[in-house]
């Protein structure tokens, strides 16, 4: 779009929405302001402005205010031009293929929508909004409350239900901006309506423009941030920090989908240092999806011994079998397919998608919840699923397409080594400290808000080490429930005295020779705590007379073949067993 009869002047003042005074060729002129928004940050005394001479000699004002220079940036502020700019762009074939009709000012219900487009069988409604409000490269709309804009957006959402395609098209009347976001300070109702419309299927797009005093042309697509522009600002410093400061971890050496998946399942509710030896021996034993799918249960549980939460590895095997059956043994390559696998939720699906495939999906774990809560100074309870979903939604729209892995891993790494829980975060080392609202407010250590869980149920148990000099007793737990399918030391509910423990031994057909109290131990599961007391009981001939379904095995066999959960770790030394990773540190 080109203008004619353009002159340069100097802005003086604006007595009302419709007119302004400028200095032009040494004279004070009254000009018509074609943009009725506030434009307070643009129309400041002394600003360089550009006006167009009217062809109509009967007009009260001979000039229209077209543009203004703000620093080094030229901004077109003609509110009547964005529709024409978009239509010209569409006519050049940039919007979609096969356009056969473009009709301006189309009546839909009680609104006049800026453009109606037909392309093949598609019927498309496009509402165009010009944007002139800019601060530090972030542009926002509106700069004044607009109930009309809210109504149009809401009616576009209704149009989608009736089979139309619908767009809100923001024309940014300047160039080289970082992102667009709704102006929640000036008119939050518009921002809310825009988010709801996007959720209903209305497409929200923004383009900047090449602007000079005599022309304006649509140029480049601009990121649209509907929820939290502060997180968009975080991306660049976070990715740079991560690339310079990331830890050397074994699963980062070969981040294919299978390796990422194994590491992420292991890392759930387990410390990084504890996972390293498990990860290496698991992949040595089961290097492919096929190997995992075909492993027998005892081998699988033995590899997992000491990590806890054994349903994780059972679900991994079911997912591996799913991959073999449905994907020919190839790990699926889309977020939706990964999410469909057994035992995989939004976090793991996002992690595999981003780390292995570079797909821009969020991976929100406890570290990320803490970091984002502090950056936004959010007092929402991060234990609520709705809060997690909201943070996933906010992050989804700001993940850089060319750095999805580093952005996601950067958030996790920041929470792991800098934005620490349970103490003072290392704010001096944080790449986000200038953006972090909690840091600015001095409330870092008060966040995140995490509602206390209900107290765990406490179970008293008595654990037995039955030995006859050569062998020790273990038994397999039921196939369902807590520690399903694992091998355990014999135990009963309740806290037995020495005499009661001896009576129990005799009742199950054993002949106790000597008893020794091994002291107390505690193990915490997600919803229950075991408070245990243990006894080492030497008996005469374990296997011949016992009425219980025990296995009587040499300690070396337990070490190699039978997965014993970490709940019994304090007592296994008495049958010369080192659980899980302890063995593999030798």
CA distance 323 to 329: 5
Other Cβ atoms less than 10 A from the Cβ of 295: the count is 19
Q: Where are the alpha helices (DSSP H) in 398-460?
A: 404-417, 437-441
Cβ–Cβ under 8 Å, residues 486 and 557 = no
CA distance 53 to 161: 45
What are the backbone angles phi and psi of residue 227, rounded to the nearest 5°?
-110, -55
Rounded to 10°, the helix 297-304/272-285 angle is 150
Cβ–Cβ under 8 Å, residues 145 and 186 = yes
CA distance 74 to 82: 16
Across the strands, what pairs with 211? 216
Contacts of 444 (CB under 8 A, 6+ apart): 374, 424, 425, 427, 436, 438
Q: Is 264 a catalytic residue?
A: yes
| Residue found by looking up tokens 């050397």 in the block | 248
Contacts of 541 (CB under 8 A, 6+ apart): 468, 511
First to last CA, the chain: 75
CA distance 114 to 125: 8
Other Cβ atoms less than 10 A from the Cβ of 297: the count is 15
| Residue found by looking up tokens 């968009």 in the block | 232
Give me the catalytic one of 127, 264, 397, 413.
Answer: 264
DSSP string for 127-181: EEEEE-EEETTEEEE-SS--HHHHHHHHHHHHHHHTT-EEEEEEEESSS---EEE
Q: Which active-site residues does the annotation give?
A: 264
């Amino acid at each position: 779009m080109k203008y004619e009869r353009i002159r340069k002047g100097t802005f003086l003042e604006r007595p009302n929405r419709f007119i302004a005074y400028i200095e032009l060729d040494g004279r004070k002129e009254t000009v018509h302001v074609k943009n009725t928004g506030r434009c307070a940050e643009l129309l400041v005394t002394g600003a360089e402005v550009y006006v167009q001479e009217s062809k109509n000699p009967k007009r009260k004002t001979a000039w229209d205010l077209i543009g203004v220079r703000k620093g080094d940036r030229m901004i077109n502020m003609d509110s009547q031009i964005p529709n024409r700019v978009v239509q010209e762009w569409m006519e050049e074939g940039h919007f979609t293929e096969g356009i056969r009709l473009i009709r301006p000012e189309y009546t839909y219900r009680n609104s006049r929508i800026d453009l109606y487009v037909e392309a093949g069988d598609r019927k498309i409604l496009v509402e165009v909004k010009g944007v002139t409000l800019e601060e530090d490269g972030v542009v926002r709309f509106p700069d004044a409350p607009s109930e009309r804009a809210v109504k149009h957006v809401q009616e576009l959402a209704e149009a989608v239900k009736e089979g139309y395609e619908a767009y809100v098209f923001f024309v940014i009347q300047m160039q080289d901006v970082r992102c667009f976001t709704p102006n929640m300070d000036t008119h939050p109702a518009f921002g809310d309506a825009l988010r709801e419309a996007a959720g209903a299927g209305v497409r929200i797009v923004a383009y900047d423009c090449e602007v000079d005093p005599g022309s304006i042309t649509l140029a480049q697509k601009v990121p649209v941030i509907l929820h939290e522009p502060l997180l968009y600002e975080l991306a660049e410093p976070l990715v740079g920090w991560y690339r310079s400061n990331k830890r050397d971890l074994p699963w980062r050496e070969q981040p294919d989908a299978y390796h990422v998946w194994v590491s992420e399942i292991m890392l759930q509710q387990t410390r990084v240092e504890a996972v390293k030896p498990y990860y290496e021996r698991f992949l040595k034993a089961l290097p492919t999806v096929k190997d995992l799918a075909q492993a027998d249960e005892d081998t699988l549980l033995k590899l997992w011994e000491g990590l806890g939460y054994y349903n994780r590895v059972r679900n991994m095997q079911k997912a591996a079998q799913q991959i073999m059956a449905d994907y020919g043994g190839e790990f699926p390559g889309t977020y939706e397919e990964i999410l469909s696998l057994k035992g995989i939720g939004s976090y793991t699906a996002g992690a595999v998608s981003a780390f292995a495939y570079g797909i821009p999906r969020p991976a929100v774990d406890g570290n990320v919840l803490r970091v984002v809560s502090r950056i936004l100074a959010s007092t929402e309870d991060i234990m609520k699923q709705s809060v997690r979903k909201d943070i996933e939604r906010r992050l989804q729209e700001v993940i850089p397409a060319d750095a999805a892995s580093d952005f996601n891993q950067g958030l996790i790494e920041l929470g792991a080594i800098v934005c620490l829980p349970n103490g003072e975060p290392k704010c001096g080392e944080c790449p986000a400290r200038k953006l972090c609202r909690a840091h600015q407010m001095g409330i870092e250590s008060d966040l995140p808000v995490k509602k206390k869980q209900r107290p765990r149920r406490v179970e008293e148990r008595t654990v037995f080490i039955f030995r006859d000099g050569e062998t020790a007793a273990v038994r397999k737990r039921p196939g369902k429930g807590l520690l399903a399918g694992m091998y355990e030391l014999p135990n009963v509910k309740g806290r037995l005295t020495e005499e009661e423990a001896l009576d129990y031994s005799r009742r199950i057909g054993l002949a106790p020779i000597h008893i020794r109290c091994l002291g107390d131990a505690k193990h915490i599961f997600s919803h229950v705590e075991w408070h245990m007391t243990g006894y080492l009981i030497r008996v005469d001939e374990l296997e011949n007379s016992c009425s219980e379904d025990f296995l009587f095995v040499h300690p070396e066999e337990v070490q190699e073949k039978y997965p014993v959960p970490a709940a019994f770790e304090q007592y296994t030394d008495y049958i010369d067993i080192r659980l899980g990773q302890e063995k593999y540190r030798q």
